[in-house]
């Protein structure tokens, strides 16, 4: 498979052959499994405090004539704490056990639970190769983005862009006006997450694949939905966010050369 190498102005510079990774069979099932594994391994452990709901001075007596017992009072025989008393009458309320106000949970989440998953190395590499091939398939990319003139390979000068405005201008020169407008529309999250640091829901848009450390990393990070990744650290989630393949991807010429020379993900 051959493709054009474009300048930063969008003009054709030359033609190069794409490496064998772009010819992999399209396997959405394998891609989905690899993405779910990445998400599971990133998940943070959580759990209830070990003494949550158990810090009451409560007691339980099942004896028939035990003082301060619940037998014969027409109430359930559960652990109770004393709220007040008047003579022989003692006012108690349920505590400690599940189903009572402030009581413990029956099966609380435990921080010891392991959320991580495993995947075979060959299967993971197959998923990445398949996701790379999907970025060069116009029919698949069209389902995700408003721009489908792929594959997109730009000259190495792309990695030297150092300003966010320059990156946005580059996208406009390539004809991605609708894509730029699409990623600027953010949605306010429904639910409690609004107060927990995740108020807005954004859309995944352009992925820049570069050969190594470069100024483009800092220049593109201020654009919503735009990511920059080294070619050797690509994973299934970057290429197929939300398990949906066909992300709009812009490759640098040097990244393509490194992909072929080092035979990455093969």
DSSP states along 141-171 = HHTT-S-----EEE-GGGGG---HHHHHHHH
49-63, 109-123, 178-192: range with highest mean pLDDT: 109-123
Least confident of 93-107, 203-217, 250-264: 93-107
Query: Can you spell out the DSSP letters for 220-253?
Result: HTTSTT-EEEEGGG--HHHHSGGG-----EEEEH
Give the confidence band of 134 by pLDDT, cuts at 50, 70, 90.
very high
Rounded distance, CA 207 to CA 183, Å? Answer: 13
Class of domain 2-43+115-261: alpha beta
Portions of the chain given CATH number 3.40.1370.10: 2-43+115-261
What are 250's two structure tokens? 């812009």
> Does 250 have pLDDT greater than 80?
yes
pLDDT at position 62 over 80: no
Could you report the per-residue pLDDT of 48-58, keeping only the tens digit for each?
998 898 887 88
**Distance from CA of residue 175 to its chain's centroid?**
28
Specify the higher pLDDT residue, 87 or 84. Answer: 84
d(CA 200, CA 189): 5
Q: Average the pLDDT over 162-171 and give the result.
A: 96
pLDDT, residue 66, reads 78
Q: What is the DSSP letter of 106?
A: S
Identify the pLDDT of residue 34. 98
């Amino acid at each position: 498979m051959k493709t054009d190498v474009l300048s930063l102005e969008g003009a054709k510079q030359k033609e190069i052959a794409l490496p064998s990774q772009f010819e992999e069979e399209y396997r959405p099932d394998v891609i989905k499994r690899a993405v779910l594994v990445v998400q599971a391994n990133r998940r943070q452990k959580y759990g209830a405090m070990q003494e949550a709901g158990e810090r009451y001075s409560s007691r339980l007596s099942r004896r028939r004539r035990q003082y301060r017992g619940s037998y014969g009072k027409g109430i359930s025989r559960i652990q109770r704490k004393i709220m007040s008393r008047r003579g022989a009458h003692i006012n108690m309320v349920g505590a400690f056990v599940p189903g009572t106000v402030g009581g413990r949970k029956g099966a609380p989440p435990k921080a010891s639970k392991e959320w991580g998953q495993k995947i075979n190395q060959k299967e993971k590499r197959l998923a990445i190769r398949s996701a790379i091939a999907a970025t060069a398939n116009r029919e698949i990319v069209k389902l995700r983005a408003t721009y489908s003139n792929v594959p997109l390979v730009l000259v190495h000068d792309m990695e030297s862009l150092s300003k966010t405005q320059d990156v946005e201008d580059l996208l406009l020169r390539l004809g991605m006006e609708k894509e730029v407008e699409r990623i600027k529309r953010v949605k306010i999250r429904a639910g409690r997450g609004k107060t927990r640091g995740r108020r807005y829901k954004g859309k995944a848009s352009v992925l820049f694949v570069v050969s190594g450390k470069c100024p483009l990393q800092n220049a593109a990070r201020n654009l919503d939905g735009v990511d920059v990744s080294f070619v050797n650290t690509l994973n299934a989630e970057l290429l197929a966010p939300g398990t949906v393949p066909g992300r709009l991807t812009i490759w640098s010429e040097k990244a393509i050369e490194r992909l072929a020379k080092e035979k990455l993900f093969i």
